Amino acid sequence: MAREIERKFLVVDDGWRSEAGPPVRYRQGYVFADEHVAVRVRTAGAAAFLTLKAEVTALVRDEFEYAIPLADAEAMLAGLCRGGLVEKVRYTLDRPGGHWTVDVFAGANDGLVVAEVELAAEADDPARPPWLGAEVTADPRYRNAALAARPFTSW
């Protein structure tokens, strides 16, 4: 089991692009999700995963992730997932103080751009780049499971 500690922010401009690694297309859906537990199916490029996440605190999740065949993931996305799918392109950034990603959403969440930083400890507070906007870690609307059920474009 892995423990994920992350903070989430809105992105206000494209200043991050000069630091970004290559893009990876993601599609994900949820077999089950409530406010504390989620069972997710995800494709990331040519890879696929089944993930279970359980909330520990607002910043911390226990995470169990398993690689699965891409064909199985595609079948699950087409037939088992509740609500809509989340589509996005993810970019990774090497910055001091944590592993950063920027997700540029598409489809029903088009227009939303979110940055996440994975931390070693809850108390960590890495330097914030100038392209970050408001922190939305505690806002449940920005969780991917919530975006599948109630997309950004419907707010």
Over residues 4-54, the pLDDT tens digits come to: 999 999 999 999 999 999 999 999 999 999 999 999 999 999 999 999 999
The residues that are catalytic are 30
pLDDT of residue 87: 98
Of 106, 114, 115, the closest CA to residue 153 belongs to: 106
Tell me what the mean pLDDT of segment 57-72 comes to: 96
What is the CATH classification number for the domain harbouring 80? 2.40.320.10
Domain span at 7: 2-154
Global pTM reads: 0.95
Question: Distance between CA 33 and CA 44 in Å, rounded?
Answer: 20
Beta strand 37-44 pairing with 2-11: unpaired
Confidence at residue 97, expressed as pLDDT on a 0 to 100 scale: 74
Mean pLDDT value of segment 64-83: 97
What was the pLDDT predicted at 1? 81
3-class DSSP assignment, residue 19: helix
Number of structural domains found in the chain: 1
Helices (H), ranges, 24-104:
70-79
Owner of token pair 């400890």: 121
d(CA 83, CA 64): 22
pLDDT-derived band at 80, boundaries 50, 70, 90 = very high
pLDDT value of residue 151: 98
| Predicted confidence (pLDDT) per residue in 87-140, tens digit | 999 999 988 877 999 999 999 999 999 999 999 999 999 999 999 999 999 999
